[in-house]
Each structure stands twice: as structure tokens, then as C-alpha cells.
Amino acid sequence: MRGPSSIVFHVHLVQDIATLQPLMKLARSLPGSRCEILVSAEFAKLDATGRWTDELGRLCADLDVPKTTYASEYEAFRHLQDKRGLIVAGSESTVPNHAVTHRLFASAPSSFTTITLQHGFECVGFLHNVAHDASAGRAVGFAADIIVGWFAPARLSSVMASERAKLYVAGPPSMIEMPARAARRAMVGGFDPDAYEGMVCENLHSVRFKSATTRTGFLEEFTQFEQRVKALGTRVHLRSHPAGQFTERNAVTLEACTVRSTQPLYRMDLTRFAYAISAPSSILFDFMLAGVPVAVWHDGDNTIDLRNFASFARVSTGEDWWRFAVAASTDPGRFVTRQDRFIEGLMIPDDVRQRYAALLSAT
């Protein structure tokens, strides 16, 4: 006889933690919920710095949730076989990077309903760019019983017809606890150096940057921008993608004015930043939700596909970056109003928290 139902959160990639954290907190708040975390043995190998292993340990302690590590699908099955409920994954599909979770879902006991989440603004199987199509193909499937999307079905153009019956639109997990977007404080009066402190994000490991020339181009423009920030006597924060960590792993030299940002995004107050600049990345969407002006970087040859970022401000050269930083700091409303219209057009549900609560309660 199987015991009470459980919500099992599955972690394999380091970025799964940020995707799942809001759902873990929500699940622990539901009356009578029983939660646990199931971690693949490969997770520790993928976490080269140990930073996310430590973070997972903190989450387990904060939420009082037990954690089990497994080395094979057989071990996972044995752990789950006398249980029932939900298994929720931060990433799962037929692409090679998701193979561990995909096999787990394919072999999970029938007493569990399996759920995978859209884990980024652009996400394989949900919303592709040209590089996604080239690397993953256009026929990305899922072993999950339910796939959870962020936007209206019409905006998730890469979900295959055969998978659409599985689609449950709940919105971005980051919005589960997000209050109404904070109004940006007006920048009035004289020049304030602190107002120009912003965030630059790099995801140079991405399939978009297969060309070394493109990666070099981004770094060269950032170096030029650093010089302007240094001359002003203020700071810029540089954030690497948690999985790629390109500038860290390649020991890219930074100016003293540059501060590395390594905290999980959910532990940061994004509204403290005057602007954010990045190549196409989900982090720009997070900043938009926080009411921060954002700009998407493109290479001079326009080889990077920006079709899903068409409404964003764009920058290319270091001089472009600087002009944007100044404009965003002195007149944020000029950018935020346009960004809010873009967000409204995605038709994200108004009741994100309630939708996820309903999903997690269906055990």
C-alpha cells in the first residue's frame, strides 16, 4: 500500500535550483504538503564551484525538506516505488542536456504525475530562436505528463502539436511571490553617480555564441564600457550564467570598478539597479518584471537572432552601452513603459500563484 502523496522536486542542472525554488517555497506553504528533493549524482559534477550545491543545502535547511541523491534510474525507481504524487523538474526534454531527467520521467512509477517547467524566456520545446532550431531541432518532445508554460499558447510557438495537450499555462515561477512591479523612482535634479550602477549579464556559453568572434566582440564592448564606468568613479555588476560561467572559467580580467554578481537571482533586489544589459537571455525578462530598463546586445554583423526580443532596446558598441546606461538612469520611464506593453502582450496569467498552487495541490 502506498503512503501519503508527495511533491518530489528533481534537480539535475545547476539552473534547476533557481527555476524550482519558488515552487518549493509555495509547496511548503500548502496545508498538509509533503515535499522532498531528488538529486541526480551528476549535479555535483556539473557544479564546478560547489556554489549551487551549497545553495541547495541552504534551501533544504530553510524549508526543512529532505534530499536524496541517486546514481541511476533504478535507484530512483526504488526510492519512489512505494510513493505517489508529483515529480516536478526544472528542465526535461528529448535534447541531450536533459537526458538524465528525461530517462527518469520515462521510467517513473505510474503512481506519479510528472511535470516539467518552461525554465527560461526562450526555452527548448517552448520558444526557440534560430540557434535552438539548429542545435535541438524543431521536434523537441517531453516525457512529462504535464508541461508548464509561461505565456499564452499562441506565444509558445515551438511547442509541437503532439505536445500541446500537455500544456498548462501558469506563468513564470519567479512571479509566484512577486508583488506588483515597483515604480522606478524618478531621477530628478543633478547628476548622481550612484544612479548609473547597473548590471551586465553574460551567457557566452550559449549556442548563440559558437563563434569565437562573437564572444570576443561582446567582451571587447564590455571592456570599453568598463572604461567609461571607471572614469565616472562608479561600479558595474557582471553576472555570468550559472551554468556557463564563461568569464569566470576563462579568467577574464576585470577592472576594479566591476563587481561579480554570484548570488542566486531570487536572493537579490533587482530594483536597486538602474539598468541591465545582456545578450539575449531570460535575465532580461526578470529585470523587466522588476521594472528595470533593459537593453539586449547584438553583434555588429547581426548574426544573433533577436526575433523574440524585438521590443527591447538594443545596443552593440561600448558607446551604445554607455548612452543606454545614462538614458536609463536619467529617464527610466521612457523604457519601462514600452517594456510593460511588451509584457502585457505575452498574456501571462493574472493569477500565477493560484495556478501553481492548484497544480501542486493535484496530488
The pTM (predicted TM-score) of the whole model is 0.90
Out of 134-138, 207-211, 313-317, least confident range: 207-211
Determine the Cα–Cα distance for residues 155 and 171; give it in Å rounded to an integer. 12
306: Cβ contacts below 8 Å, ≥ 6 apart = 280, 296, 298, 312, 314
E-strand stretches of the chain: 5-11, 35-40, 67-70, 84-89, 112-117, 146-149, 167-169, 198-202, 236-240, 258-261, 276-278, 294-297, 313-315
pLDDT tops 60 at residue 185: no
Out of 226-230, 307-311, 332-336, least confident range: 307-311
Determine the Cα–Cα distance for residues 120 and 284; give it in Å rounded to an integer. 10
Helical (H) or strand (E) element with 184? none
Helices 16-29, 352-361: crossing angle, 10 deg rounding: 80
pLDDT tops 50 at residue 345: yes
Task: Tell me the CB-side half-sphere exposure of residue 134, using CA atoms within 13 A.
Answer: 10
How would residue 189 be classed by pLDDT, with cut points 50, 70 and 90? very low
* CA-based radius of gyration for the chain: 21
Q: What is the pLDDT of residues 47-83, one digit of tens each?
A: 988 999 999 999 999 999 999 999 999 999 999 999 9
What is the mean predicted confidence (pLDDT) over 160-189? 75
Domains of the chain, earliest start first: 5-172+348-361 (3.40.50), 193-345 (3.40.50.2000)
Mean pLDDT across the chain, nearest whole number? 88
What is the mean predicted confidence (pLDDT) over 106-117? 97
63: Cβ contacts below 8 Å, ≥ 6 apart = 24, 25, 28, 35
Q: What is the pLDDT at residue 181?
A: 42
